[in-house]
Amino acid sequence: MAFSFIQLADPQFGMHAGLSGPDNPNRGLFADLGLNVPRFPKVTGFQYETERYEMAIAAANRLKPEFVVTCGDMCNDKDDPTDEYAELMRITGKLSKSIPMYWVSGNHDITNEPTQESLSRYRKLYGDDLYSFDREDSHFVVLNSTVCQEPSQVWDEWEKQVEFLTSDLMEARGKGSRHIVVFTHHPPFLTSVNEADSWLVLPRERRRVLIDLFVKYGVSHVFAGHWHRNHYSYFGDLQIVATSSVGFPLGNDPSGLRIVKVYDDRMEHEFYGFDELPGSIELE
Ligand SMILES: [Fe+2]
């Protein structure tokens, strides 16, 4: 039976304030990678993110998807000096109890170089970072892409992830799952599976391990975030979808969310800015 879900990415409470002011040291870093950071006066707090995440949760309550998934970077600063996490959870608490929220870890949630300590902290706040679930006949897998990106301090976590993914995908294929979908924070690559490493994508060495498993077991889509703009790429039949942010955007796409429709024979998805959301999700 057809159903829908909503994908959110990067609500990133506190990022807008973090990028504000004239002297942001990261502006050049973003510009080198083709991401815009406009100059704007210094602000503090997370009012910007509050307004947009409120819109995302209100939209979910109105559109009634089967579930919502948030693909990482829920808060900008893992040390959370201004209660970013409390604000995230205050608003998440308004989500209808009949709509589950699935969290995906991002680099800001567990640092760019995860440690056992940062992973434990994440798991206390959000639950598992490596898991899967089913809806109807479809299978959904949540990965921790920051561990794939930089596992040097938690190598066993990378090995555990490959082991989990292999057995989970084998089982999903074995039971005849109609669609197999992966949620991560980092998209594995931008345009080509062999492209150079950068902090925007997964390093080639481990990217290839994941892509090989995705192809072997027929994963149809990877939904990711991290870039704060929309981007679509392909490897054979596998589509990699990067979704613009709920919070501060870094490209030409506005803040918004993605609606995904899952049919027996296909999946359709579309990104909507918060001022262009449909009144309802129509399934055929
Ligand atoms: Fe990120």
Q: Is the pLDDT of residue 240 over 90?
A: yes
Q: Is the pLDDT of residue 21 over 90?
A: no
Overall pTM > 0.85:
yes
- The residue-averaged pLDDT of 125-132 equals 97
Predicted confidence band of residue 59 (pLDDT cuts 50, 70, 90): very high
- The residue-averaged pLDDT of 19-33 equals 76
Q: Is the pLDDT of residue 82 over 80?
A: no
Q: State the distance from the centre of ligand 1 to the C-alpha of 186, rounded, in angstroms.
A: 7
DSSP labels, 62-115: HH--S-EEEES--BS-TT-TT-HHHHHHHHHTTS-TTS-EEEE--HHHH-SS--
- The residue-averaged pLDDT of 212-234 equals 97
Q: State the distance from the centre of ligand 1 to the C-alpha of 135, rounded, in angstroms.
A: 27
- The residue-averaged pLDDT of 202-221 equals 97
Assign 216 to helix, strand or coil: helix
Q: What average pLDDT is seen over the chain?
A: 94
DSSP labels, 221-284: EEEE-SSSS-EEEEETTEEEEE---SS---SSS-SEEEEEEE-SS-EEEEEEETTS--SS----
Alpha carbon distance 101, 246 (integer Å): 15
Q: State the distance from the centre of ligand 1 to the C-alpha of 139, rounded, in angstroms.
A: 24
- Largest interatomic CA distance in the chain: 55
- The residue-averaged pLDDT of 218-239 equals 96
Q: Is the separation of the CB atoms in 133 and 101 below 8 Å?
A: no
Q: State the distance from the centre of ligand 1 to the C-alpha of 175, rounded, in angstroms.
A: 33
Percentage of the chain exceeding pLDDT 70:
99
Percentage of the chain exceeding pLDDT 90:
84
- The residue-averaged pLDDT of 267-279 equals 97
Domain 3-273 sits in CATH at 3.60.21.10
For the four alpha carbons of 51, 53, 58 and 59, in that order, the dihedral sign comes to positive
What's the confidence (pLDDT) of residue 24? 73
Alpha carbon distance 108, 18 (integer Å): 13
CB neighbours (10 Å) of residue 94?
A: 12
- The residue-averaged pLDDT of 70-93 equals 90
SS (H, E, C) 12-69: CECHHHHHCCCCCCCHHHHHHCCCCCCCCCCCCCCHHHHHHHHHHHHHHHHHCCCCEE
Predicted confidence band of residue 179 (pLDDT cuts 50, 70, 90): very high
DSSP labels, 125-156: HH--SSEEEEETTEEEEE--HHHHH--TT-HH
Lowest mean pLDDT among 36-40, 174-178, 230-234: 36-40
User: Which of 211, 210, 214 lies closest to 169, judged by CA?
Assistant: 214
Give, in degrees to the nearest 5, the angle at Cα 191 between 277 and 177.
65
What's the confidence (pLDDT) of residue 56? 98
- The residue-averaged pLDDT of 224-245 equals 96
Q: Is the separation of the CB atoms in 110 and 76 below 8 Å?
A: no
Q: State the distance from the centre of ligand 1 to the C-alpha of 171, rounded, in angstroms.
A: 30
DSSP category for residue 200: T
- The residue-averaged pLDDT of 8-21 equals 92
Q: State the distance from the centre of ligand 1 to the C-alpha of 209, rounded, in angstroms.
A: 21
Q: Hey, where are the domains in the chain?
A: 3-273
Q: State the distance from the centre of ligand 1 to the C-alpha of 12, rounded, in angstroms.
A: 9
Which residues are CB-neighbours of 92 under 8 A, at least 6 positions away?
A: 57, 101
Q: State the distance from the centre of ligand 1 to the C-alpha of 110, rounded, in angstroms.
A: 10
Q: Is the pLDDT of residue 81 over 70?
A: no
